[in-house]
Structure 1
Amino acid sequence: MSGNIYDQLREKAKHFHSYSLALDESTDVTDTAQLAIYVRGVDNNFEVTEELLSVIAMHGQTTAQEIFRQLCYSIEDAGSQWKGLAGITTDGAPSMTGRKNGLVALVQRKLEEEGVEDAIALHCIIHQQALCSKIMRFDNVMSDVVKIINHIRSRALKHRQFRDFLAEIESEYEDVLYFTEELNVLNKKLQGQDQLVSAAYDNVRAFSKKLVLWKAQLFQTNLCHFPACKALMDSGTTFSGEKYADTIGKLQEEFDQRFADFKTHRATFQIFADPFSFDVEDAPPVLQMELIDLQCNTDLKAKFREVSGKTVLGQFLRKLPPTFPELSRMFKRTMCLFGSTYLCEKLFSTMNFNKSKFRSRLKDEHLKAILRVSVASSLKPNVAQLCERKRCQVSGSKD
């Protein structure tokens, strides 16, 4: 079944106009480094295929050169062309993003040798968001909180006693709360399959603007968006809004610095998301004439306003006349971009479940086959075709 899915992927890859790659590396239960490579391709009809390209066990060194060698083999084995590579998204590790000898640098060098356009290199947006949160210096509080919560939840008796205690004092909450779930709204928005890179970056920009607003309000001791702080101040406790405004200001600065790679391509993302409202003067010269023609086409504008979400966006883009070749090309290259390595992380979770301490002898090829079938999204094994290839063993019968 795994081979059948891969054959389908190879067939689709032949028709990709543009494709993007997401790479990440993790270690399995036997301390073997596993390299996960996902591909997201867009054909001329704006059909998107997002599937696992390969899982490669790296028993030796995991240098950028070795990762690049494995990547080259995977691309060639799938029948893809380097000229179609539009983007590459990694976890930001030195072996991936090293300026001279990192994987991204080696890929860009290869594209230059092939005489094709550079690929857009992005650092996983979820990983960057997680790094931003580390600027919040609350270790002196959070370390104790985490220890207490883990102590309560790791022991059934302690947990039951704690819940009984909360009931006795008529607490507002009946159990231990994982407040990190409340703080993780942005992270959840960035996760998921078939995510458009423009939508992911919009979520980050929205959160950054909220930080600016919160900082200004805290300086004025306006706690309308901080009910817990307001309750604390109403109780008579001294509250310093400037202290927390400074912390939020540092977080906002960190967001601006961390997402610089996405900001570089902000204009492209905005044209892709809404080409009818983008200022033509800010567009790349190669797109300006076509963008003017598109914005003045009332029929296409009406059709665009009717669509909503990534599911039907492709339906609209398919209706673009051939008089918009550069815009069509840009839309395809942007539509195939990965904003994060979320799918790789999800794959590693599946890997840890399948290759556990109870199944640690699982061979590399068997693991790859299991994972390909487990995480397949748009491609499903053609069972009927597989059955036709099998020769039935007919037992002899006596007259």
Structure 2
Amino acid sequence: MSLSKKRKVGAECRVFQEKWSSSYLFTEVNVKAVCLVCSQHVAVLKEYNLRRHYVSLHADKYDNFQGQRRREKVNELLAGLKKQQSVFTHSRDISDAAVKASYLIANEIALALKPFSEGEFVKTCMMKASEIVCPEKRQAFANISLTRNTVADRISDLSADLDSQEKQKVKSFIAFSVAIDEGTDITDVAQLAIFIRGVDDTLTVTEEFVDLVPMTDTTTAADIFTALVGALDRVGVDWSAVSLATDGAPSMIGKKAGVVKKFRDKVQSANGGHDFWTFHCILHQEALCCKSLKMDNVMKVVIQTVNFIRSRSLNHRQFDSLLREKDHIYGLPYHTEVRWLSRGAELRCFFDLREEIEQFMEEKGEPVLEFHSTEWMQDLAFMVDVTEHLNNLNKQLQGRNKVATQYYDSIRSFKLKLLLWETQLAGDDAAHFPCLKNVCTIQSVADMKRFKDKITGLLLEFE
């Protein structure tokens, strides 16, 4: 035989033939000949191999079956094999589904910031529900592993996968910018939050949280810079950074040894001295503008009154009881400087509950005399309205995947509103200040021109 004419598989009888099922009790599974009796398969699909297996192992028992009886026996064995295969397939499907469900529940536990042990509680609830809703599926729910260690492992796997995806995405960046913010948590540990926004060669913009680095010792510019570089090196950046946004603190923007100066030098040494921009976070700038609207005469009284009610457990319980009697469903929140939106929430609740607060404070022998001052009540109402406007602006500036033009549009439109309010208040018109308008209507006294200066000062800050 010449080399050009090779023998084909079919010529070697290596294609399974239907007659072998009846003759040798074999069937084809995944291109392999499998014995219907013992479920073994032969290495090479040849009739000789099948016949040898049958003769040596099963001929004594099954040669007695001939004709119709043999066909029925073959069908019986085929049915048994299919049933066995379906059991294994179903078991594998259940196992895969249980593992997937375990990952999904672990992900929800992580997103909700719940302890790992919550998985066992969730499984207990599922088992109770399955006994009532679908008792035939009870075993499927029981197969879901949600022990504390399993949940911890699942969350670690998910975290590693997200980290891997982030590194792959960062490798595709042709340029990126970084934003950092350093703050202190409730355990007095400084935490450095690092965000990155990059663009690839298809102009697809990706914005991701990189890391939250705990800084247990000092928080000098050198410490922050070291933590920042370490986090970016971990995700594999190529130092094609074009900008850095900070909170504007001296340690961040110092001209000689600030974080910005160190970061710029590193980036420009890597990219050949290309342009590098630095920005003061626009949200932080907006918060600083809000602080220019001091009105300490209002905030001092509000904070002192709220602290008197909230800081003493007996006062707090009694005040909540008074609110329930009057069908109020919320109480007084605390205000803290680092939570910029909390001032508006505290002022709003204080204004809405002013009658109950006045009554309670008089019963406690600590009357708030300012409640009887027309001018102070107007100041309070004005502060409630203007802080709500400022909080709404702050919320507009928040969010992912925004570009500079959107921030600019929000600030510009707010400045136009300030110009409008300045003109209206100069004419004793409080159309956009409902609380102030309400107080002035009740008191039949309208002196709104003095609030015009407050708006003017706020406008200057935004300029």
Give the TM-score band, short-chain normalised: 0.5 to 0.7
CA distance in 2: counterparts of 1:241 and 1:73, whole angstroms: 55
The CA deviation at 1:73 is: 2.7
CA distance in 2: counterparts of 1:29 and 1:161, whole angstroms: 31
Residue 135 of structure 2 is matched in structure 1 by none
Cα pair 1:132 1:251 within 8 Å, conserved:
yes
Tell me: CA distance 1:10–1:160, structure 2 relative to 1, closer, same or farther (3 Å): same
Cα pair 1:163 1:175 within 8 Å, conserved:
no
Per-residue CA shift, 1:158-216, capped at 9, x if unaligned? 1231453589xxxxx99639955565111111122223332123212211121112112
2:357 maps to 1:201: no
> Structure 1 residues 52-61 or 12-21, which shifts more?
52-61
Tell me: CA distance 1:43–1:205, structure 2 relative to 1, closer, same or farther (3 Å): same
Aligned pairs, how many?
A: 250
Residue 171 of structure 2 is matched in structure 1 by 14
Equivalent in 258, 274, 295 of residue 117 of structure 1: 274
- 1:57-96 correspondence to structure 2 within 5 Å: 57-82=214-239, 84-96=240-252
Q: Secondary structure at the match of 1:69?
A: helix
CA distance in 1: counterparts of 2:449 and 2:302, whole angstroms: 24
2:317 maps to 1:156: yes
Letter in 2 for 1:143: K
- 1:102-251 correspondence to structure 2 within 5 Å: 102-114=258-270, 115-149=272-306, 151=308, 155-162=316-323, 164=325, 176=353, 179=384, 183-235=390-442, 237-251=444-458
CA distance in 2: counterparts of 1:230 and 1:76, whole angstroms: 56
Per-residue CA shift, 1:123-166, capped at 9, x if unaligned? 12222111111111211112212343455567233123145358
Letter in 1 for 2:180: L
Per-residue CA shift, 1:95-142, capped at 9, x if unaligned? 112232211122223333332433331212222111111111211112
Structure 1 unaligned residues grouped into runs of 5+: 168-172, 257-399
Root mean square deviation of aligned Cα = 2.9
CA distance in 2: counterparts of 1:127 and 1:77, whole angstroms: 28
RCO comparison, higher one (Cα < 8 Å, 6+): 1
Q: Secondary structure at the match of 1:239?
A: coil
Tell me: CA distance 1:112–1:30, structure 2 relative to 1, closer, same or farther (3 Å): same
Residue 310 of structure 1 is matched in structure 2 by none
Structure 2 unaligned residues grouped into runs of 5+: 1-156, 329-348, 355-382
Cα pair 2:196 2:207 within 8 Å, conserved:
yes
Letter in 2 for 1:59: T
The CA deviation at 1:232 is: 4.4
> Structure 1 residues 211-220 or 150-159, which shifts more?
150-159
Per-residue CA shift, 1:40-74, capped at 9, x if unaligned? 11212232322222232323321112222222233
Instruction: Give the TM-score normalised by structure 1.
Output: 0.56
The CA deviation at 1:27 is: 2.7
> Structure 1 residues 226-235 or 173-182, which shifts more?
173-182
Q: Secondary structure at the match of 1:184?
A: helix
The CA deviation at 1:92 is: 1.6
Instruction: Give the TM-score normalised by structure 2.
Output: 0.49
Per-residue CA shift, 1:242-277, capped at 9, x if unaligned? 311111111111111xxxxxxxxxxxxxxxxxxxxx
Cα pair 1:32 1:58 within 8 Å, conserved:
yes
CA distance in 2: counterparts of 1:244 and 1:166, whole angstroms: 34
Letter in 1 for 2:297: N
- 1:47-62 correspondence to structure 2 within 5 Å: 47-62=204-219
CA distance in 2: counterparts of 1:78 and 1:209, whole angstroms: 43
- 1:299-310 correspondence to structure 2 within 5 Å: none
Residue 382 of structure 1 is matched in structure 2 by none
The CA deviation at 1:15 is: 0.6
CA distance in 1: counterparts of 2:273 and 2:290, whole angstroms: 38
Letter in 2 for 1:157: Q
CA distance in 1: counterparts of 2:277 and 2:264, whole angstroms: 9
Tell me: CA distance 1:58–1:153, structure 2 relative to 1, closer, same or farther (3 Å): closer
